[in-house]
Chain A
């Protein structure tokens, strides 16, 4: 039987322990575009922007 990879982390806001299990079934989806319309819309919006990434230099913050 294949061993499962499990990660746990504590939600910083509630203290709940969240369990993340790596799924072989889900791994088959890696690389696929599961929301093509959404990505297309995002790219269109970002293309329409004159600036995408904020300037995080100290004098801009």
Chain B
């Protein structure tokens, strides 16, 4: 994704939590990306959003900070970092709402050529993973680093 990213991130030593600040029209807003093991072996759920007062992720908040592309590019860069550290893991994610899932689908679709050089990208249809394509109407995504790429 040829968009500028946020260059300063705080992380946990196991790479399960990444924090960065969104800087925009509404000020400086803490964003968090986490990776948590699902019930399925080697499948990790990506959660993303603002940080609430309990230190949990609020994935329904709308910060409207005018930096959506930079945020999405930063999250893509975080996925790259994570899968570089854990190349055997699959990263599962979905939007917190249908419209957010649609935004993710559009972002992947617009940058598919570059992303697919480094990642295997799948959507889901009829209960099965299928290779991502721009017109796919998928409720969720599954991504893994390509084996032959050290990112």
Contacts and interface: CB of A to CB of B under 8 A. Distances in A.
Interface of A: 5, 9, 11-14, 16-23, 25-27, 29-30, 33-39, 41-43, 45-54, 56
B81 A9 contact: yes
A34 B56 contact: yes
Interface string B1-27: 111111111111110111100000000
A18 B10 contact: no
B39 interface: yes
Contacts of B77: 11, 13, 18
Interface size class of B (residues with CB under 8 A): 35 or more
Contacts of A37: 59
Contact of B128 (A5, A14, A39, A50): A50
Given A38-B96, A51-B127, A53-B43, A30 B17 contact: yes
A49 B127 contact: yes
B10 A23 contact: yes
A14 B73 CA distance: 10
B124 A18 contact: no
A13 to B, nearest CB: 5
Contacts of A29: 12, 16-17, 55
Given A23-B11, A49-B129, A54-B131, 11 more contacts: A13-B77, A20-B18, A21-B9, A22-B12, A23-B19, A34-B17, A35-B45, A38-B96, A42-B38, A45-B124, A46-B92
B94 A45 contact: yes
B110 interface: no
B139 interface: yes
A14 B5 CA distance: 8
